[in-house]
């Protein structure tokens, strides 16, 4: 069950075109808007600056043209996913939907026989033999 919504909103073609034109701006060479290195074919990612799972809209302002490796994958795995996992955890906790914690069940120990005489401790190793040679 997802509390943050299930529908993923990718950038429409018009937004991707506008973002690509923006990243080519000064000299016509497409460059990563995060690290500034020239983009290579196949290594382009239209990155949600605010993650889609956290309410980021598929608009031009929220779109960054980044290199897939290393910029976009690093942001996705090191920042966005942990934030969304935490958002899920907080939402589940606040709505009382988290998994119930199981208490540890002890394997149990044998009960010691009741000691009626305080002055003479029971020999717990050999309860069949009484102490003091009796
Ligand atoms: Zn980059």
| pLDDT above 80 (res 92) | yes
Q: Give the pLDDT band of residue 129 (cuts 50, 70, 90).
A: low
| pLDDT above 80 (res 127) | no
Per-residue pLDDT, 130: 59
Distance 101 CA to ligand 1 centre (A): 42
Prediction pTM value:
0.67
CB 91 within 8 A of CB 69: no
| pLDDT above 80 (res 2) | no
**Better pLDDT: 105 or 58:** 58
Q: Give the pLDDT band of residue 1 (cuts 50, 70, 90).
A: low
| pLDDT above 60 (res 96) | yes
| pLDDT above 70 (res 131) | no
The sign of the torsion formed by the CA atoms of 108, 110, 115, 121 equals negative
Distance 78 CA to ligand 1 centre (A): 15
| pLDDT above 60 (res 132) | no
- Region for residue 132 given its phi and psi (left: phi exceeds 0; alpha: psi -120 to 50; beta: otherwise): left
The domain limits of the chain are 13-94
CATH number belonging to domain 13-94: 3.40.1800
The neighbourhood of ligand 1, an ion, using CB within 5 A, equals 32, 34-35, 67, 71
**Better pLDDT: 71 or 108:** 71
List the one residue out of 63, 67, 69 whose CA is nearest residue 10.
Answer: 63
């Amino acid at each position: 069950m997802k509390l943050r919504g299930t529908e993923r909103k990718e950038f429409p073609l018009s937004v991707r075109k506008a973002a690509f034109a923006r990243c080519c701006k000064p000299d016509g060479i497409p460059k990563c808007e995060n690290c500034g290195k020239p983009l290579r074919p196949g290594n382009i990612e239209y990155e949600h600056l605010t993650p889609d799972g956290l309410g980021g809209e598929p608009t031009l302002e929220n779109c960054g043209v980044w290199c897939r490796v290393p910029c976009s994958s690093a942001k996705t795995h090191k920042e966005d996913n942990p934030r969304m996992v935490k958002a899920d955890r907080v939402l589940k906790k606040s709505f009382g939907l988290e998994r119930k914690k199981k208490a540890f069940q002890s394997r149990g120990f044998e009960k010691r026989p009741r000691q009626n005489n305080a002055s003479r401790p029971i020999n717990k190793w050999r309860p069949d033999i009484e102490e003091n040679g009796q």
